[in-house]
Amino acid sequence: MKTLTKNPKLLPSLVCSILGHKFEITKKVTYYVKEYKCSHCKKQVTTNSNGNLIQLTPKRKEINYILERVHKKKTKQLKEGRPYS
């Protein structure tokens, strides 16, 4: 007789495949670019240039990091009244 082993990752992914993901914002990169994480299956996504959700790869994570640094620098300089260069 075969015994069924419990797979803890199966249930959350099953819930997401039936009901869809429940994404929560994990990081605000800029005003329009954010990183999200599903509260059930822990899948990570980000917004692309068109505003669509795409999978968060290490390359896109690095791009978001650089974009966040540039955005923070720009907003800081605008608050101080200096033009961004």
% pLDDT > 90, the chain: 60
What's the whole-number mean pLDDT along residues 12-28? 88
In sequence order, which residues have a C-beta less than 8 Å from that of residue 33 and are 6 or more positions away? 46, 47, 64, 67
Q: Using CA atoms, how far apart are residues 72 and 74, in angstroms rounded to an integer? A: 5
* pLDDT value at residue 8: 62
Residue 5 pLDDT level (bands cut at 50, 70, 90): low
Q: Is 21 a residue whose pLDDT tops 70?
A: yes
pLDDT at 17: 84
Confidence band (pLDDT; 50, 70, 90) for 69? very high
Sequence spans of domains, the chain: 22-79
